[in-house]
Amino acid sequence: MTPQEYCAALEQALSPMPPEERQETIRYYLEFLEEASEEERAALGTPQELAAQLLRDSGIFPTQNIPPSAPKSSGRIGVIIALLCTFPIWLPLLLVWYVLLLTVLICIVTVPITFVGVLVVGIWSMLMLLSRDFPLALLSLGIGLMGGGLAVLVAYPLLIVCRTVAKFGISSSRKLWHLVWKGGKTS
């Protein structure tokens, strides 16, 4: 093998090394091989052996030289068995968690609905009392309009709170899913 062929194979084997360092190493060994005797050339070994030694000395451990290990078991069977054995504990807790989130959403939604109900009842009672007691009809209309105004004031902030609670429920469900099925690793 000529020095140029040896260095070409060495350069290919040194591909994990940074380009500048690799070129410097190739230049050094090309000069060495052109001046070296047959015994000195034989002492270097094959280009792959020399490259492996040089990479180790540089602190680079190429993955291609590592024999493939057995595929890692994901442990899903173990997780499924653990979930089946512990479902009397986690299932009620999970149901309580979702019922609490749903309860919070329902309570938030009922506030503007209640104010809209006050508006409807105020207008209806105003119409009923208009012919009998005009001042009381105006009072009913005022209370109804106040309820409608409060409904308008609180509707948008409570909508934002509802979205936040819903997003929190969805994100906590995703985190729980990743924790159980993917070992806490998010994809």
Q: Which residue stretches of the chain have pLDDT < 70?
A: 62-75, 183-187
Q: For the chain, what is the mean pLDDT?
A: 85
> What's the whole-model pTM score?
0.49
pLDDT, position 66: 47
pLDDT, position 111: 93
Q: How far apart are the first and last CA of the chain?
A: 49
Rounded-to-integer distance, Cα 167 and Cα 165, Å? 6
Per-residue pLDDT tens over the stretch 93-119: 989 999 999 999 999 999 999 999 999
Burial of 14 (0-12, 13-18, 19+ CB in 10 A): buried
pLDDT, position 144: 96
pLDDT, position 64: 52
